[in-house]
């Protein structure tokens, strides 16, 4: 095993090896998740809304600016630390996890990569301190075919006017800063798409209905309505006509975050099953004494470890500045399958209790399903992997 400078990751053959700093960070997030988030999970799930105090604490603890540079109020840390936070939060509640995930791996990441100096100075400190970010790409007819979007941007004297509707926007209710994609020239296809920084208070902007979802129910998933929304020209993110590049490169990192969320969900379900099978007695002994149950638990442990290694590997590659597109797609695809499988087996191990909301595992299963859908469906991940291994 090689050594590393203070605060730098220790590189070894074991991808799950963490530096002392990373171990401390993971422990601090777990303490927050167990002590502050867990007591409010049931209430947030019932209300379909994140607790305002939890949102405030996420900012106060620096969880909303993990990768953001220190000069803008952030921690100046790594994508690896970001996924540690996402994983630990998802182990307790996937809704809080995706709230932190989208703000960091999509919105802040896009600003860091594409914003000019003035935009960074204006918005990154706000997003580190109190203002939530959201990422608005999807539309009714633009999901996997992301560049089929219909939202139109029209250039005026000193601003653009955006008109259209966005769907499935995570953090829609909480966010005040949105990255919105629109096309200036539909005839140009993907080359006409531009990314815009839109504030909640801009004229012509409003948040529509909140979706009533199967899982991650406390996370707001909303529509956005742009009715001649006036966006100053200085709020173009990146170059005009290069929105497709902004979206593709940002989502590549975002998939690592979703992979971490899925690993956290699987871990939470596994730990619940492990505890229950040790306590539940049938035929005069705890059910974890039966080989059939032991083998199921062992299979769950194997699958989770494999998923975690894939996610950690893609994050380490990204932090090292190496290609990670294929690895991120594999990690998201596999971890979403693992989360769904492990949480489903956990329900079965709980028996009838697993099917009722009084026990935690049915929520882990409901929360897991979105992993195969958002930030690139499983079929789109397979397409990406296939292209990269056959080119």
CA gap 207, 224 in Å, rounded = 5
Confidence of residue 112 (pLDDT cuts 50, 70, 90): very high
Whether 256 shows a pLDDT value over 50: the answer reads: yes
Q: Looking at the domain 134-241, which fold is it?
A: Butyryl-CoA Dehydrogenase, subunit A; domain 2 (2.40.110)
**Residues belonging to the chain:** 391
Mean pLDDT across the chain: 95
Chain segment 354-363, per-residue pLDDT in tens: 999 999 999 9
pLDDT in tens, 8-20: 433 344 566 899 9
Domain boundaries, the chain: 20-132, 134-241, 245-390
**Tokens 């100075």 belong to which residue?**
121
pLDDT at 15: 61
CB 134 within 8 A of CB 178: yes
Structure tokens at 143: 């999901």
Residue 90: both structure tokens together:
């998802």
User: Measured between alpha carbons, how far apart are the two ends of the chain, in Å?
Assistant: 35
Burial 177-192 (b: 16+ CB within 10 A, else e): bbbbbbbbeeeeebeb
In this predicted structure, the answer to whether residue 371 has a pLDDT above a threshold of 50 is yes
Q: Is the pLDDT of residue 4 over 50?
A: no
Asked if the domains 20-132 and 134-241 are classified in one and the same CATH topology, the answer is no
375 has catalytic annotation: yes
What local confidence, expressed as pLDDT, does residue 290 receive?
Answer: 98
Instruction: Name residues whose C-beta falls within 8 Å of residue 49's C-beta, 6 or more positions apart in sequence.
Output: 173, 218, 220
Q: Which residue has the tokens 């966005």?
A: 166
Q: Is the dihedral of CA 30, 35, 39, 45 positive or negative?
A: negative
Q: 6 pLDDT exceeds 60? A: no
Distance between CA 287 and CA 321 in Å, rounded? 47
Residue 8's pLDDT is: 41
Determine the Cα–Cα distance for residues 152 and 2; give it in Å rounded to an integer: 53
pLDDT at position 148 is 87
Q: Which of 67, 87, 327, 375 is catalytic?
A: 375
Whether the predicted pLDDT of 261 surpasses 50: yes
* Cα dihedral across residues 133, 146, 48, 264: positive or negative: negative
Closest to 103 in 3D by CA, of 47, 50, 146: 50
Vertex 374, ends 368 and 379: CA angle to 5°? 95
Kindly calculate the radius of gyration of the chain based on its CA atoms and give it in whole angstroms: 21
pLDDT band at 146 (very low <50, low <70, confident <90, very high): confident
Q: Which CATH architecture has domain 20-132?
A: Orthogonal Bundle (1.10)
Confidence class for position 314, pLDDT limits 50, 70, 90: very high
> pLDDT grade, residue 60 (50/70/90)?
very high
Q: What are phi and psi of 216, to 5 degrees?
A: 30, 55
- What's the whole-model pTM score? 0.94
Partners of residue 334 on adjacent β-strands: none
d(CA 377, CA 338): 15
Q: Does the pLDDT at position 1 exceed 60?
A: no
Query: Span 233-261, mean pLDDT?
Result: 96
- The superfamily CATH assigns to domain 245-390 is Butyryl-CoA Dehydrogenase, subunit A, domain 3 (1.20.140.10)
Residues 6+ apart with CB under 8 A from 330: 310, 314, 381, 385
Element (H, E) at 256: helix 243-279
Question: What confidence tens digit (pLDDT) does each residue in 315-347 have?
Answer: 999 999 999 999 999 999 999 999 999 999 999
Question: Dihedral through CA 48, CA 52, CA 53, CA 54, nearest 10?
Answer: 50
Pairing of strands 221-232, 159-170: antiparallel
- Is there a contact between 390 and 384 (Cβ–Cβ < 8 Å)? no
């Amino acid at each position: 095993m090689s050594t590393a400078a203070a605060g730098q990751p220790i590189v070894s053959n074991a991808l799950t090896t963490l530096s002392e700093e990373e171990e401390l960070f993971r422990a601090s997030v777990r303490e927050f998740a167990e002590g502050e988030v867990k007591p409010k999970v049931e209430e947030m799930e019932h209300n379909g809304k994140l607790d305002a105090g939890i949102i405030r604490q996420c900012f106060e603890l620096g969880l909303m600016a993990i990768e953001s540079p220190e000069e803008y109020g952030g921690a100046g840390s790594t994508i690896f630390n970001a996924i540690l936070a996402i994983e630990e939060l998802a182990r307790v509640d996937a809704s809080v996890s995706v709230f932190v995930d989208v703000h960091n791996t999509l919105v802040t990441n896009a600003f860091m990569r594409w914003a000019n100096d003035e935009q960074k100075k204006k918005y990154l400190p706000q997003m580190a301190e109190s203002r939530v970010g959201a990422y608005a790409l999807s539309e009714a007819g633009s999901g996997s075919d992301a560049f089929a979007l219909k939202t139109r941007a029209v250039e005026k004297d000193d601003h653009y006017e955006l008109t259209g509707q966005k769907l499935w926007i995570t953090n829609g209710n909480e966010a005040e800063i949105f990255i919105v994609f629109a096309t200036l020239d539909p005839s140009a296809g993907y080359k006409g798409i531009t990314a815009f920084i839109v504030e909640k208070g801009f004229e012509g902007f409003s948040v529509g209905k909140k979706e009533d979802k199967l899982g991650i129910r406390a996370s707001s998933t909303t529509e956005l309505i742009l009715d001649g929304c006036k966006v100053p020209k200085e709020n173009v993110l990146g170059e005009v006509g290069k929105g497709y590049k902004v979206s593709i490169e940002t989502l590549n990192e975002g998939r690592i975050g979703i992979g971490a969320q899925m690993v956290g969900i699987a871990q939470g379900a596994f730990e619940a099953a492990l505890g229950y099978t040790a306590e539940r007695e049938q035929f005069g002994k705890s059910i974890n004494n039966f080989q059939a149950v032991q083998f199921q638990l062992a299979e769950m442990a194997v699958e989770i470890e494999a998923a975690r290694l894939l996610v950690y590997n893609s994050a380490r590659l990204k932090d090292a500045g190496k290609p990670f597109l294929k690895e991120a797609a594999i990690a998201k695809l596999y971890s979403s399958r693992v989360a769904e499988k492990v949480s489903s087996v956990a329900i079965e191990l709980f028996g009838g209790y697993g099917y009722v909301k009084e026990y935690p595992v049915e929520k882990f299963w409901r929360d897991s399903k979105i992993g195969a859908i958002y930030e690139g469906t499983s079929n789109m991940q397979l397409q990406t992997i296939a292209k990269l291994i056959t080119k």
